[in-house]
Amino acid sequence: MEYVIEMNHITKQFGNFKANDDITLQVKKGEIHALLGENGAGKSTLMSVLFGLYQPEEGEIKINGKAVKINNPNDANDLGIGMVHQHFKLVHNFTVLESIVLGRETTKFGTLKMDAARKKVMELSEKYKFKIDPDAYISDITVGMQQRVEILKMLYCDNDILIFDEPTAVLTPQEIHELMKVMKQLVAEGKSIIFITHKLNEIKEVANRCSVLRKGKYIGTIDVAETSKEAMSEMMVGRKVNFHVDKPEKTPGEPVLEVKNLTIASKHEGQHAVKDVSFAVRKGEILCVAGIDGNGQSELVYGITGLTPIEKGQIILNGKDITKESIRRKCLDGMAHIPEDRHKDGLVLDFSLQENLVLQSYYTERFQKHGFLKFDAIRKYAKGLIEKFDIRSGQGEDSIVRGMSGGNQQKAIIARELDRDPEIVIAVQPVRGLDVGAIEYIHKQLVEQRNEGKAVLLVSLELDEVMDISDRIIVMYEGEIVADVNPKEITVEELGLYMAGAKRSVKNEK
């Protein structure tokens, strides 16, 4: 059997920590081969070895039956390997076109020749129905668009082996559907795809075969069509996983957070991202804000938490007007925030895990005296949280957060925010990019907050999550609330209509 890629007995170590321990992966030509595993199982590390970002301590790589040495990403590109990274590698102040040709520019007498490149990019964009604007700046386009730019970058280089590292983590349901179509189209054209994910429905939808990693070791390869989601999740986590959130009936109490007539400006001149929005979240209630990405949900949360100024309106927490308070004051008043962008707003990436865990409490008497930090107290506290929330990393509390897997970075933020015993938890896509085990855990934590009589405001793009965990759903479309519904009384299809703006519920008619 001729494989397009063989990674035989690959071992990759960081210090004493084996991220990949004797892993063998074989990919056939023209297949979508899924790579499944929990956060920190070693999937991205293995692909970074294949892409030349890391050198393995042991093992060999064969491309089309020939042993190769991949010293860097340029070698990988020359061998026809392209990669869409989990955290996009794009230059924010470049245009889409400049980003795609970066490293593959055509020059004549030292000047850039963009005409042929523009033509090729537009042809590719047309072929895969990407609808991109080549002159838009990366900083101004949506995450879904940025991802298309990453894919075009690979296609522009004529790569035959495409690695997608958790490509759907940041996409809306509609964008995911489009991406799946593109992946099938690419394979039909003879390309081979390695698809890293931990969303089992997606593997079922597009993959031919699936290899499972657990804690850095290879568990096995299965035929997707013949294997149930339950069996795959058990291979991945090593135990049975409950896909349904158990939550007891509860009658919500008094309002904890009240938002009144909130209006927030958009990045685009003269427009509003949030238009006159009002709602309340009550004790013992999970209120979910649903909607397609880019309909004002992010700005709404930025406004409530103080990350962006508001034009008009009021924010009231437990009867107290906190509209103009500082972010620290809002935290002290009982607001916890699990932000959408964990790298930008949730963590200081070059700080250690223990430093990140006390970012909001280092100034309290518990952790400092006369302005000097009590390192022993911080370490002890961090160890406790790491154990309680099962945060996995190479060097425990001393790990630099940048080097941790996305899921464990997320767990660190959740540990820090929930441990402060907040009155309201504002969680924006808290399970984005997480595996089933971590999702189950985080949903449990949020439901526990609700059961203890706290309020939870959840912003999510995942319809399954919205339907499963919320007590009440409000839908945002173009900056306005177009529906306020009970998940028990609505179908996913109906919710989709509200999200697409095709339907409004009567009480929100303007």
DSSP label of 400:
B
Identify whether residues 431 and 417 lie together within a single domain: no
Identify whether residues 486 and 374 lie together within a single domain: no
CB atoms within 10 A of CB 218: 21
What range does the domain containing 73 cover?
3-237
Q: What is the pLDDT of residues 390-432, one digit of tens each?
A: 888 888 899 999 988 888 898 999 999 999 889 999 999 888 7
Identify whether residues 370 and 459 lie together within a single domain: no
Identify whether residues 78 and 192 lie together within a single domain: yes
Report field, pTM of the whole predicted structure over 0.75? no
Q: What is the pLDDT of residues 243-280, one digit of tens each?
A: 677 788 888 889 999 999 999 988 776 788 889 999 99
Identify whether residues 233 and 248 lie together within a single domain: no
Q: Which of 80, 57, 86, 85 is nearest to 5 (CA)?
A: 80
With respect to residue 343, please indicate whether it lies within any of the assigned structural domains. no
Last residue of a domain, one of 202, 237, 272: 237
With respect to residue 340, please indicate whether it lies within any of the assigned structural domains. no
Last residue of a domain, one of 179, 203, 237: 237
Map residue 498 onto helix, strand or coil: helix
Provide the domain count of the chain. Answer: 3
Identify whether residues 329 and 356 lie together within a single domain: no
Identify whether residues 183 and 107 lie together within a single domain: yes
Last residue of a domain, one of 357, 390, 421: 421
Q: Which of 82, 41, 320 is nearest to 193 (CA)?
A: 82
Structure-token pair, residue 312:
């008009």
Identify whether residues 263 and 218 lie together within a single domain: no
With respect to residue 268, please indicate whether it lies within any of the assigned structural domains. yes
Structure confidence at residue 355 (pLDDT): 95
With respect to residue 96, please indicate whether it lies within any of the assigned structural domains. yes
With respect to residue 198, please indicate whether it lies within any of the assigned structural domains. yes
Identify whether residues 166 and 303 lie together within a single domain: no
Structure-token pair, residue 466:
């919205």
Q: What is the pLDDT of residues 340-399, one digit of tens each?
A: 888 888 999 999 999 999 998 999 999 999 999 999 999 999 999 999 888 888 888 999
Structure-token pair, residue 429:
């896509």
Identify whether residues 198 and 313 lie together within a single domain: no
Read off the CATH number of the domain in which 214 is found: 3.40.50.300
With respect to residue 342, please indicate whether it lies within any of the assigned structural domains. no
Structure confidence at residue 99 (pLDDT): 86
Structure confidence at residue 506 (pLDDT): 46
Identify whether residues 462 and 505 lie together within a single domain: yes
Q: What is the pLDDT of residues 147-183, one digit of tens each?
A: 788 888 888 888 899 998 887 766 666 778 888 888 8
Identify whether residues 127 and 148 lie together within a single domain: yes
Write down the number of H helices and E strands in the chain: 16, 24
